[in-house]
Chain A
Amino acid sequence: MASVTFKDATRIYPGSDHPAVDGLNLEIGDGEFMVLVGPSGCGKSTSLRMLAGLEEVNSGRVMIGERDVTDLPPKDRDIAMVFQNYALYPHMTVADNMGFALKMQNVPKAERQARVLEAAKLLGLEDFLARKPKALSGGQRQRVAMGRAIVRQPQVFLMDEPLSNLDAKLRVATRTQIAALQKRLGVTTVYVTHDQVEAMTMGHRVAVMKDGLLQQVDSPLALYDKPANLFVAGFIGSPAMNLLPGKVTDGGVQIGDFVVPVERQVLAKAPAEDTLTIGIRPESFELGETGVGVDVSLVEELGSDTYLYGTLSGLSDEERFNAQQIVARISTRHSSTPSGQVRLTANPQSVHVFSNSTHERIACAWRHRPVHFARTRSGAACGGPRPFRIDSFESQRSIASTTTVVAAERHFRRSTRRYERRRRPVGARAEPGTTATVSRPPSAPSRPLAWAGVGE
């Protein structure tokens, strides 16, 4: 077992003007399951081949444990590469199917048998060893394929999209088995996939790559909750995060006819930008009376959830054709299926704000957690499960879930009042007993700002 380190590792293909992998710095701990993920051409497979010794490293180093393996041939690196192939040979026994690669490495017969037996015990295949593979199920065949890698007893497993040709059911089952086996064996594993769901469900940590550059390396949940930039935000998560660019206004970012409230301190971090991108996960949305207006084009019931697909309201037919799709995951507890135009709200702490110039994530729209911030259904970033009811929001209560927020409401009221005071001409005061209103752009709805229970 060993750690793996890429130090400024760069690979430039001959004839290419930009690196396939550009100064990769990545430390993979001893026994860690690291997944490299990204779209085609992002450099993940090149990185794996650099580690395997198949691809030349133009600059930088690759280490396995304390050993600098940058210039070592593949056979001296003590690694086992696992490919998509798992052809089972019909004339050979399961034992021979598992151990044949050891024969190629001239491992003595007695040791081969011992290693195969050990792997078979681990995989529950002991009783099958003397049999031919013809009657094996898909899952059993996968286990034999895993056995082929295990018998090699390497310091590091390198897996290159090993599941991409399996059907969905078998892929999910095998994912779980590989992850469990890796945990049990404790062998450092570098796993390459283009499938972010696979990456998120298997890896201890996930390294997201794009155009040869490492975008972010973190635990799956950290990637999900705090994506470093627009690319990671859009790539990780399925359905993807809704990324809605909008004009910066006083107090927020305008999306369609609605101003998404963004804390002043957050806006202040991108002072020179006229537009910012708001990022909201589908499950962070709630149905509301105010919020981002969306014309629903498709409603999909999936288990206990309903997925709404639509586009921003108020678009012309032509604009709608090219418009970005908005996806919301709504609990099916609602009595009626939403259709037509809906308003979607979200907990401000689950709303991400991204710079359009650097593409970096700036912060959550609302950074400070109020004392009684209610839990969103994703549980992200928010506190206790105590449900709240807001008596003043009769209409909203019937539509939105009971996870609306009282404290956030107070917080927002305070900031609204402050905002109002600043706008009010000197000397003007609100009459006692009336509600102050916030001025908005002409197209904004007549109701005051309401954003996940943050209301009048």
Chain B
Amino acid sequence: MSGVPRFISATPDSRLIPLPWGTPLAEWPVDLLVALPRGLSRHVVRFIKVGDDVYAAKEVIDHLARHEYRLLHDLMRLGTPSVEPIGIITERGDCGGVPLDPILITRHLQFSLPYRALFAPGVRPETVSRLLDAMVVLLARLHLIGFQWGDVSLSNILFRRDADTFAAYLVDAETGGLHPKLSDGQRRQDLEIARTNLFGDFLDLRAGGLLQEDLDPLQLVDLVQSRYHELWQELTGAEEFSGDQMGRIENRVRRLNALGFDVAELDIRTAADASTVRIQPMVVDAGHHSRRLMRLTGLDTEENQARRLLNDLDTYRWRTGQQHVDEAAVAHDWMTHVFQPVMDLVPADLRAKREPAQIFHEVLDYRWYAAERQSRDVPITEAAQGYVQDVLRCLPDEELNTESLLPVESRQLVNPYDPSQGYVEPGQEPPQDPWEDGVDQVAAPSPFLDIDALRARAAATAE
């Protein structure tokens, strides 16, 4: 049956129900849409505004919609940075009863940054390096939990600020699969795909005048590959040393913590005569710092933001002489006397510019530079006031970032709701294509195997 849409959702939003599901997504009225930057997509994708929330809607064939919805749920459950699935709308049909593909709804990732603006002319080399690192960390985290992506590309990643670095999020799991454990071959396959796709992505950015000129696409993809191998080796590789260097066990754990990973299981084997020791992390979990901050303060932040906030918390503990007080009690004190007062100083109309944890991180930076300039201790509230006036007020909104939609060199997107179509160019009629003749008349194929046709074909071939 088609024409009566069916909603499948774990977190239902009743405001979605009256939307025009009987209309193909590409033809939805623009007053329901928001023009936000996004990557290239094979399918029709639109951002829809429902009250104050923005959702991404993707029209996709049935089994893929269900597969991706479930997979995104699994990824969320496993704490992997990915977009949140809201639901799928199936059994759609237009007013003539023609069935329409289901729509997968995900929540728009607030404060996400469009990759098309991030590699743009003027970008600093260290920013590029941090973006690539964020991508590599995401890929390694996915591989650690047994997720083979199958379509690693810039279009399928969103970036968010994470203190001085970036955090990458998976936005498209269509081709992915979750396994108990990935083989080296499955990881290599993902890397091979990443290499080809990212090379194409960077070439496309260059062709569109959106890539800093001195960035070489081939070098960039080589860098992604080599950094992935380094990180994977650090996360999972075996290390062997002599029995009198036991401190190296702790060093390894610390190095992994510094990378933002907790060691849940470390395999330690010693030789019979205790002359050598071999260690290998068996289970590592990402989010070492963000988990600790969440436990202490309830703040949900990116990993490096958490690291920065925890450093400030530790400094606060030491400065206030509370070294022997329970850590959770100190954290509560810090939230009340440091973090919250800073947030209270941010006017409501500027809160869409940065996430709270990012604002706090930038206030800490601002205070450090102010203290250097003025050669004195600058109180945090004073630094916050200065930051709001001097920095935050001048920044663009990032909660819903429309930066990359501005015309580049006076060019306009063909469709602001679909960047996959590129820019408007002087029009020409498309050439005649005999391969396309009669394509529209082809009837939808039967779901069954047409064995009679197969026999007829085999007989014709035999003749």
Q: Which residues of A contact B (CB under 8 A)?
A: 11, 13-15, 20, 40, 46, 49-50, 52, 54-56, 74, 81, 83-92, 96, 100-101, 103-104, 123-124, 127-128, 131-132, 134-135, 137, 139-140, 143, 164-169, 172-173, 196-197, 200-201, 219-221, 224, 237-239, 281, 283, 302-303, 377-379
Tell me which residues across on chain A come within 8 A of B98, comparing CB atoms.
Answer: none
Contact sample, A vs B, 20 pairs, CB 8 Å cutoff: A11-B185, A54-B188, A55-B186, A83-B175, A84-B150, A85-B193, A87-B40, A87-B200, A89-B203, A101-B199, A103-B203, A104-B196, A104-B199, A127-B432, A143-B435, A165-B60, A165-B61, A168-B444, A220-B454, A237-B451
Q: Is A302 in contact with B455, judged by CB distance below 8 angstroms? A: no
B184 within 8 A of A: yes
Cα distance A101–B204 in the bound complex, in angstroms:
13
B452 within 8 A of A: yes
Q: Which residue of A lies closest to B196 (CB)?
A: A101
Q: How far is the CB of A120 from chain B (nearest CB, A)?
A: 12
Q: Is A90 in contact with B193, judged by CB distance below 8 angstroms? A: no
Q: How far is the CB of B284 from chain A (nearest CB, A)?
A: 16
Q: Is A200 in contact with B434, judged by CB distance below 8 angstroms? A: no
Q: How far is the CB of B420 from chain A (nearest CB, A)?
A: 6
Within the complex, which residue of A103, A196, A379 is in contact with B452, where a contact is CB–CB below 8 Å?
A379
Given contacts A55-B184, A90-B421, 4 further A-B contacts (CB under 8 A): A15-B181, A100-B203, A101-B196, A239-B448
Give the B interface residue count (CB, 8 A).
64
Q: How far is the CB of A87 from chain B (nearest CB, A)?
A: 5
B314 within 8 A of A: no
Q: Is A86 in contact with B42, judged by CB distance below 8 angstroms? A: yes
Cα distance A55–B196 in the bound complex, in angstroms:
19
Q: Is A89 in contact with B448, judged by CB distance below 8 angstroms? A: no
Tell me which residues across on chain A come within 8 A of B84, comparing CB atoms.
Answer: none
B82 within 8 A of A: no
Q: Is B185 in contact with A54, judged by CB distance below 8 angstroms? A: yes
Cα distance A167–B183 in the bound complex, in angstroms:
30
Cα distance A320–B203 in the bound complex, in angstroms:
60
Q: Which residue of B lies closest to A307 (CB)?
A: B448
Q: Is A84 in contact with B185, judged by CB distance below 8 angstroms? A: no
Given A124-B435, A378-B455, answer yes or no on A84-B200 (Cβ-Cβ < 8 Å).
no
Given A46-B183, A103-B203, A127-B431, answer yes or no on A90-B153 (Cβ-Cβ < 8 Å).
no
Q: Is B207 in contact with A91, judged by CB distance below 8 angstroms? A: yes
Q: Is A85 in contact with B197, judged by CB distance below 8 angstroms? A: yes
Q: Is B201 in contact with A49, judged by CB distance below 8 angstroms? A: no
Within 8 A of A (CB), among B381-429: 414, 419-423, 425, 428
Tell me which residues across on chain B come within 8 A of A81, comparing CB atoms.
Answer: 192
B208 within 8 A of A: yes
Cβ proximity bits B440-452 to A, threshold 8 Å, 1 near / 0 not: 0010111111011
Cα distance A86–B189 in the bound complex, in angstroms:
16
Tell me which residues across on chain B come within 8 A of A46, comparing CB atoms.
Answer: 183, 185
Within the complex, which residue of A100, A165, A237 is in contact with B175, where a contact is CB–CB below 8 Å?
A165
Tell me which residues across on chain B come within 8 A of A131, comparing CB atoms.
Answer: 428, 430
Tell me which residues across on chain B come within 8 A of A20, comparing CB atoms.
Answer: 183
Q: Is B200 in contact with A124, judged by CB distance below 8 angstroms? A: no
Cα distance A201–B221 in the bound complex, in angstroms:
38
Q: Is A137 in contact with B422, judged by CB distance below 8 angstroms? A: no
Q: Is B444 in contact with A55, judged by CB distance below 8 angstroms? A: no
Q: Is A132 in contact with B422, judged by CB distance below 8 angstroms? A: yes
Q: Which residue of A lies closest to B193 (CB)?
A: A83
Within 8 A of A (CB), among B255-295: none
B304 within 8 A of A: no
Given A13-B183, A239-B448, answer yes or no on A128-B174 (Cβ-Cβ < 8 Å).
no
Q: Which residue of B lies closest to A236 (CB)?
A: B449
Tell me which residues across on chain A come within 8 A of B177, comparing CB atoms.
Answer: 40
Cβ proximity bits B70-81 to A, threshold 8 Å, 1 near / 0 not: 000000000000
Cα distance A86–B455 in the bound complex, in angstroms:
33
Q: Is B199 in contact with A100, judged by CB distance below 8 angstroms? A: yes
Q: Is A167 in contact with B193, judged by CB distance below 8 angstroms? A: no
CB-based closest 6 A-B pairs: A55-B185, A90-B422, A89-B204, A91-B208, A127-B431, A91-B207
B377 within 8 A of A: no
Q: How far is the CB of A151 from chain B (nearest CB, A)?
A: 13
Within the complex, which residue of B155, B433, B434, B451 is in contact with A283, where a contact is CB–CB below 8 Å?
B451
Within 8 A of A (CB), among B229-258: none
Cα distance A224–B449 in the bound complex, in angstroms:
11
Cα distance A85–B221 in the bound complex, in angstroms:
17
Give the interface centre of A52, A87, A134, A224 by most chain B CB atoms within 10 Å: A87
Q: How far is the CB of B454 from chain A (nearest CB, A)?
A: 6
Tell me which residues across on chain B come within 8 A of A167, comparing CB atoms.
Answer: 61, 101
Given A86-B42, A237-B451, answer yes or no on A55-B200 (Cβ-Cβ < 8 Å).
no
Give the interface centre of A40, A89, A92 by most chain B CB atoms within 10 Å: A89
Q: How far is the CB of A109 from chain B (nearest CB, A)?
A: 14
B4 within 8 A of A: no
Q: Is B421 in contact with A134, judged by CB distance below 8 angstroms? A: yes
Q: Is A169 in contact with B40, judged by CB distance below 8 angstroms? A: no
Within the complex, which residue of B151, B184, B192, B419 is in contact with A84, where a contact is CB–CB below 8 Å?
B151
